[in-house]
């Protein structure tokens, strides 16, 4: 096995496969959240001037497929342009985009080489850091905004899926 990508004294504990599995587990939970929202509230409901859950999902989609694609190709489109390319006005359309991204991530993620994980990239031409850092950012940003969705659902009197339900 090749692990020279980490600094000499660092001990690798998490593989690319584990990271992908973690993310897809979270993505399965986020998909359940999309299903848990009443369809009208998905696109309109807001607290404190924050974006509706569908808009947060579009943000997740913008980072996910195009983000991993950029990690491999090194080519980045403008973030706003990419975000505008994801269009959904119904739950079914949103779920379709979600499932397409799931397949795209499963296909592309294994192509990120171990060396690449530790190279510095400028994600969407804007956010500079190691590839692994940006991948954590994509995953963590999804968890963060999904947590926001939990409050939306609870305030609507709807019980969200359990946080550990990643199946």
Binding site, by residue number, is 145
Any bridge partners for residue 109, and if so which? none
- When asked if residue 114 is in the footprint of a second copy (CB under 8 A), the reply is yes
Rounded to whole angstroms, the Cα distance separating 155 from 134 reads 32
Is 87 in a helix, a strand, or coil? coil
Q: Which segments are annotated as binding site for a divalent metal cation?
A: 145
Write the DSSP assignment of 51-62 as a string of letters: PPHHHHHHHHHH
What residues numbered 55-94 form the site for a second copy, per CB under 8 A? Answer: none
Number of residues that bind a second copy (CB under 8 A): 48
Instruction: From 17-25, 35-43, 64-72, 87-95, give the range in contact with a second copy by CB under 8 A.
Output: 17-25
- Site of tokens 């999309």: 34
Shorter beta-carbon distance to a second copy: residue 75 or 164: 164
Rounded to whole angstroms, the Cα distance separating 53 from 57 reads 6
Tokens of 131: 């590839």
Kindly calculate the radius of gyration of the chain based on its CA atoms and give it in whole angstroms.
17
Residue selected from 52, 61, 98, 146 as contacting a second copy according to rule CB under 8 A: 146
- When asked if residue 49 is in the footprint of a second copy (CB under 8 A), the reply is yes
Any bridge partners for residue 121, and if so which? 129
- Least CB distance to a second copy at residue 22 (A): 6
Applying CB under 8 A, the residues found at the interface with a second copy are 1-3, 5-8, 10-19, 22, 26, 47-50, 114, 117-118, 127, 132, 136-137, 140-141, 143-148, 150-157, 163-164
């Amino acid at each position: 096995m090749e692990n020279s990508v980490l600094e000499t004294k660092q001990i690798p504990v998490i593989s690319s496969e584990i990271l992908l599995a973690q993310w897809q587990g979270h993505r399965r939970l986020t998909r359940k959240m999309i299903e848990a929202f009443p369809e009208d509230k998905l696109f309109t409901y807001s607290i404190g001037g924050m974006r509706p859950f569908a808009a947060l999902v579009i943000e997740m989609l913008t980072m996910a497929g195009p983000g991993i694609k950029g990690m491999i190709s090194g080519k980045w489109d403008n973030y706003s342009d990419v975000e505008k390319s994801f269009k959904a006005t119904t739950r079914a359309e949103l779920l379709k985009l979600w499932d397409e991204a799931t397949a795209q991530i499963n296909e592309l993620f294994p192509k990120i080489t171990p060396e690449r994980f530790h190279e510095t990239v400028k994600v969407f031409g804007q956010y500079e850091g190691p590839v692994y850092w940006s991948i954590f950012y994509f995953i963590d940003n999804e968890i963060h905004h999904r947590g926001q969705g939990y409050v939306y659902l609870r305030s609507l009197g709807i019980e969200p899926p359990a946080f550990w339900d990643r199946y």
